[in-house]
Structure 1
């Protein structure tokens, strides 16, 4: 890959392993040289805060990617610079500002966007791991892992689309898998050249690539497919003499029929795709541990209807794909409290799905005892209390029941603290402790807050000490299992944690607040509502 300076992102290693930041816009053979006059050097500190540590990559858009450190918060960051700033960097800065408004565990966090005229730069979360493109070079992924990755990408897109925005750059180079297994989507665009529908169809491309190691859009690429990773970087999908793409089950053995059908439906331009939240719900339903995968063989996966008067292609028939019957209206989505009703095509059975996971009714013939996937629903909280280990007067404990009463207009709130958002340096934090009554499989926890600017994390534990200063100290000391990523200086009023282990059951959870939000006279925070989804 030609570039004027710096090694390729594929060759940077730390301790023998590849380190990536998920740019997804590597230079192609026709890319012009990247301007490096006045380029920064290692050790330089930008905006009196971000120290540049190591040059990682140059890309075809004229951007330089550096690994850096936020010297104030002492956390690693990725710094993406462009020369010059001003008008030439407008799209990059606008995309960063837009992305920073959407907080989701499956989106790369964007921390800062600065235009200094002679250069502009975006500061965002550093991801140690590798892209899906690089992961698949080791061979196609197993169906369970491919489903989990597709679920994460669809969930991230659902969060983006809920704001009315488009990601516009979904492909294997922008899907990152961290060393801890977290899947994140990076490098959104805001130039208006794409659509939410193309975002959703790109999830089909992600599933296809994960299952086969081939990218199905080389001849008619999605935005970013050729610029970031074209035919030279990713093998084109297997095609017949007429150019039709082969189904994953024709490329490799072991791909379940329901996943093959879903992937090919998303890639079929004649079939209207679902919304991103419906797709995320379906993939969440299918995202189960590998050892339980056989439960889903006949569970009635989501299908999208095409014109029934058209004959199926010979390639589709050879691959054993079922022909969807009816019209697109058969996918009736009633978003009433995000309750999604989906008619199972090809029979009279119906799936009733609650976001984000469906509760399927088996489409197996009578007499087949195929277990159905568990329904994800709002779990009942049996007990809730405020955890305040560093206070002697314990004056802020009242009102905990308001965070689970279903009314976001009422909630529990802290007192006002002076000086700094971290409780004026008087406390390490405060939290809301939740008891589900018995162990449950938990899918997500959502906390609705009174204001923006707070920092918090979700922890899990197994102990229930008494409600006292000493008891709270014991609880905080023992709750070490972090769920998902912490939210720092959060610029929204909703935090969603969905990094739960599917093989673990949870009873006790702790929403732990480390920094308060700015308020009149100091800093404070209200927790309006906490909901837990699981089975």
Structure 2
């Protein structure tokens, strides 16, 4: 179903698949992986098989190519690098084996569909499109956090499982890509999900239809292609595709997209499916139909098409070329009244802008002098709570602890990034423009149901509670109005071992627009 690899390499006919010594159904590779079905081939001549791990008794996908050796080094290097990153939005890679005459990668088999398949039936609702793009950005943030890039983000490598999980697949190792290219590609994914078009001409019979452009070649914005797209989401999409504008980091982008995420409760993927096929067979798949019956207004005044300067750094990367990022993102329509504008920046916070939050039942003596370490920009310094025994919920002694930030004035908060010393905490973001009364280093918290007050001021929950979070937590900011006060409220502590629990906060960064 998915179409991994249909990108720059597929500008002509797909290369012939080498089948000398090709395996047969039932063959067991490496005395472990039984091949059960040859699904299809990709544009690079790789075979995709559905298989089974006979040791762990789980389904797997096997990507196999002939020959092995040096010609397979890119595929194997990408697989090895990918296997080191465990993330809920990345396809798991289990094994990479070179047998000289052939090489193969064994990865997670996921039941569901690709974004390419989904948009063939028409564009997605804006909240679903944002949810998918946000998940991709979250996966990319994990990759970029290792100093590498993905390099192959397109509708065939974005997979939506039957249970709604979004995963990114098929990283490739090549030094010719950049982290910026990944971020531009996320904008292209968002554009594709919103419109059903890909903002770059794709070759191959299974390509997504090319985007609509005016006579000057300028890309039509999503709001010009279909109705119902929120203006801020439309602008974010076009900004990401515009090479004249800088791109935010992946974790900041997660926070920005989180403002538009799905809240309807409907699944991202519905219907029957036999599983991700990894690649679409170019030999049998028909071209995806261009969406019809749309009233399209094209003719964007003042668009400037700027070619993307291919300044390729020596960034160490996971992958190589996939569907290329569009070079004609163009400008955007003028912002609607009241919409956010301007660049996204990190707000510089000082020690006097942060206070410790403690439950009214707490003793208010937990390392108050260390709170400045959460905003010193040094991830090696840590503010820690006391250690609690027997229960991760603060030993059942109180409802939680946290940090209160005074931004100095009301600001549009895009995201709050929290760096923790250990994974496993549960936290939430609260916001208010009402000033809590000043009681020094500490501020007292009272809770009742979902309500939370800080020194008497009501603080509203923003987004969803992050449960069992990793060491890097990105909390989306309030989507509608500016706020002055932010509260990070922690209700569950990570385990230390020996029945003890404690959280350590290394750094907090607030991005504003």
Bin for the TM-score computed over the shorter chain:
0.5 to 0.7
Mapped to 1, the partners of 2:120 and 2:206 lie a distance apart of: 13
Question: Within the alignment, does 1:180 sit opposite 2:170 as a pair?
Answer: no
Say whether residues 1:91 and 2:74 are aligned partners. yes
1:150 and 2:133 are equivalent in the alignment: yes
Decide whether the 8 Å contact of 1:249 with 1:319 is kept in 2: no
Closer/same/farther in 2, CA of residues 331 and 249 from structure 1, 3 Å limit: same
Q: 2:240 aligns with which of 243, 254, 266?
A: 266
Q: 1:116 aligns with which of 95, 99, 119?
A: 99
Q: Normalising by the residue count of structure 1, what TM-score does the alignment of the two structures yield?
A: 0.56
Question: Which 5+ residue runs of structure 2 have no aligned equivalent?
Answer: 267-300, 306-329, 350-374, 380-402, 419-426, 431-446, 451-460, 476-489, 509-513
Judge conservation of contact 2:50–2:62 (CA < 8 Å) in 1: yes
Cα distance, 1:291 vs structure 2: 8.6
**Match of residue 281 from structure 1:** 255
1:74 aligned onto 2:57: yes
Normalising by structure 2, report the TM-score. Answer: 0.58
CA contact (8 A) 2:64 2:105 kept: yes
2:346 to 309, 317, 332: 332
Q: Tell me: CA distance 1:104–1:530, structure 2 relative to 1, closer, same or farther (3 Å).
A: farther
Q: Distance in 2 between matches of 1:157 and 1:63?
A: 24
1:23 is aligned to 2:85: no
2:26 alignment counterpart: 43
**For the residues of structure 2 that align with 1:243 and 1:98, how far apart are their CA atoms?**
38
Quote the offset at 1:217 in angstroms. Answer: 2.1
8 A contact 1:445–1:496 mirrored in 2 = no
Q: State yes or no: 1:53 paired with 2:105.
A: no
Residue of structure 2 aligned with 1:210, choices 193, 197, 208? 193
Where structure 1 has 5 or more consecutive residues not aligned to the other structure, the ranges are 1-9, 11-19, 219-225, 293-310, 357-374, 379-435, 449-493, 499-506, 513-523
- Higher RCO structure (Cα 8 Å, ≥6 apart): 2
Asked if the contact 1:104/1:496 (under 8 Å) is kept, the reply is no
Contact 2:93–2:106 (Cα < 8 Å) also in 1: yes
- Partner-residue secondary structure (3-state), 1:332: strand
Equivalent residues in 2 for 1:288-437, closer than 5 Å: 288-290=262-264, 312-313=302-303, 319-321=333-335, 331-332=345-346, 336=375, 349-351=411-413, 353-355=415-417, 376-377=428-429
The structure with more helix, counted as a fraction of residues? 1
Q: Rate the CA distance shift 1:106–1:46 in 2: closer, same or farther, 3 A.
A: same
Superposition RMSD in Å? 4.2
| Cα distance in 2 for residues equivalent to 1:239 and 1:155 | 30
Q: Within 2, Cα distance between the matches of 1:195 and 1:317?
A: 22
Deviations 1:13-72 (A, max 9, x none): xxxxxxx5x634496652221101111111111111111110011122121100011111
SS in structure 1 of the partner of residue 259 of structure 2 = helix
CA contact (8 A) 2:62 2:106 kept: yes
Q: Distance in 1 between matches of 2:472 and 2:31?
A: 29
Is the contact between residue 6 and residue 204 of structure 2 (CA under 8 Å) also seen in structure 1? no
Against the structure 1 CA distance between its residues 89 and 438, is the aligned structure 2 distance closer, same or farther, given a 3 Å change threshold?
farther
Shift of 1:527: 8.9
